[in-house]
Amino acid sequence: MNMRYIKTYESFYNKDNMARDIAMILDPAIVEIAEFDETHYKDTSMFRVYVTEDDLESVSLEKLRNYMIEEHGLHLTTNTFTEGGMIVLTEKPIEDTCIDWLNVNYSKLEAVESKNYKGNVIYRYKPKDNILFHDMTNEKVYINSNIWSFFEDYFGMEDNEIQELTMKWLSETYNLNLTTTRFGFYHGRFEKCE
């Protein structure tokens, strides 16, 4: 996500007042609103993401964090794993907002017994488009890698943070008490199995 171009004052600042506010507090900084990849991620309306070309300094970030909560009632999360910086604004703390995102996009999945892996359960919207794979032998759930990468790429979450978040969501939404969650593979790609 390399955004190495400069917009003119008029074309940039008229599009998003929040980007202007962020840029003024982080001065000097160029701030742009970032779009989510809609082909991989469903409804993302609960997040507003901004990118900067410059690394984010802790003093400026603390000032920005205080401003956002005091003036707009918004919570600020940063991802410093990207080149420059990424700022995420949400109405609730990030964990709560991520659980909301999971519920909005993945709370009504159909649970079916896997034909390919007997005794295990697949959660999906339609056949061969699996979102979750519940390995009943060890109480692990494998999560579609698009979901895992959403938390990793946009919020800079570590694997253990994503595991805690997804385990909490699965417990609350699907009443699953698990040992852990994983992303990706279960003896191959589970996303297309039956």
Query: How far is Cα 63 from Cα 181, in angstroms, rounded to an integer?
Result: 36
Query: How far is Cα 137 from Cα 90, in angstroms, rounded to an integer?
Result: 38
- Could you count the other beta carbons within 10 Å of the beta carbon of residue 136? 13
Q: Exposed (0-12), middle (13-18) or buried (19+): which is 148, by Cβ within 10 Å? A: buried
For residue 182, the model assigns a pLDDT of: 80
Confidence category of residue 167, pLDDT binned at 50, 70, 90: very high
Q: State mean pLDDT over 157-164.
A: 92
CA 164-169-172 angle, to 5 degrees, is: 125
For residue 67, the model assigns a pLDDT of: 94
Task: Give Cα 168 to chain centroid, integer Å.
Answer: 15
What is the value of pTM for the model shown?
A: 0.82
Q: State pLDDT tens for residues 10-65.
A: 334 445 688 888 988 888 788 888 888 877 778 999 999 998 887 778 888 899 99
